[in-house]
């Protein structure tokens, strides 16, 4: 094998390594988002079980809060994208979040398969480069 082919393999190896790292980072971020969504579901259920007027801190912007009193435990305003907010019951909000969790799970499965395929090709290429002493 000539020097150009070895160099091309090495470049491909480096690119694959970067892609694998990006996919793994993406997987970590999705898992963090899943944890946040599970926390939101837990919070909604706890909130739903509380009754009576309750005071809480409502975010105005990152790091800025205002004390607010809640008297409606049944309806929530849910951001659905593009600046659109819709009114949902607690159960509807939970269903929406559970749907997002399922979509994340599907994406995680696809990404995991892709990582596995990349890993096999990556290992094969790594062995070839080792044999060529590149």
The pLDDT of residue 82 is: 93
pLDDT surpassing 80 at residue 117: yes
Delimit the domains of the chain by residue range: 3-131
Band (111; pLDDT cuts 50, 70, 90): very high
Domain 3-131 indexed as CATH 3.30.70.3270: no
The pLDDT of residue 105 is: 97
DSSP 34-85: HHHHHHHHHHHHHHHH--S-EEEEEEEETTEEEEEEE--SSEEEEEEETTEE
According to DSSP, the residues that pair with 56 across neighbouring strands are 68
The pLDDT of residue 1 is: 58
The pLDDT tens digits for 91-102 are 999 999 999 999
Residue with tokens 């971020």: 29
Residue length, the chain?
134
The pLDDT of residue 134 is: 55
Predicted model pTM: 0.76
The pLDDT of residue 106 is: 97
| Alpha carbon distance 72, 84 (integer Å) | 21
| Alpha carbon distance 63, 66 (integer Å) | 10
Strands 75-81 and 84-89: antiparallel
Residue range 39-63: mean pLDDT, rounded: 86
According to DSSP, the residues that pair with 55 across neighbouring strands are 69
Q: Which of 10-19, 41-50, 86-95 has the highest mean pLDDT?
A: 86-95
> How many other CB atoms are found less than 10 A from the CB of residue 70?
13
Number of helices (H), then strands (E), in the chain: 2, 4
């Amino acid at each position: 094998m000539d020097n150009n082919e070895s160099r091309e393999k090495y470049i491909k190896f480096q690119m694959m390594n970067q892609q694998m790292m990006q996919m793994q980072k993406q997987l970590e971020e999705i898992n963090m988002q899943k944890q946040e969504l599970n926390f939101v579901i837990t919070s909604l259920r706890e909130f739903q079980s509380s009754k009576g007027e309750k005071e809480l801190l409502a975010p105005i912007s990152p790091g800025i809060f205002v004390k607010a009193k809640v008297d409606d435990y049944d309806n929530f305003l849910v951001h659905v994208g593009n600046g659109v907010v819709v009114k949902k019951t607690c159960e509807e909000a939970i269903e929406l979040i559970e749907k997002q969790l399922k979509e994340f799970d599907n994406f995680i499965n696809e990404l995991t398969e892709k990582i596995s395929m990349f890993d096999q090709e990556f290992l094969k290429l790594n062995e070839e480069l080792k044999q060529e002493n590149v």
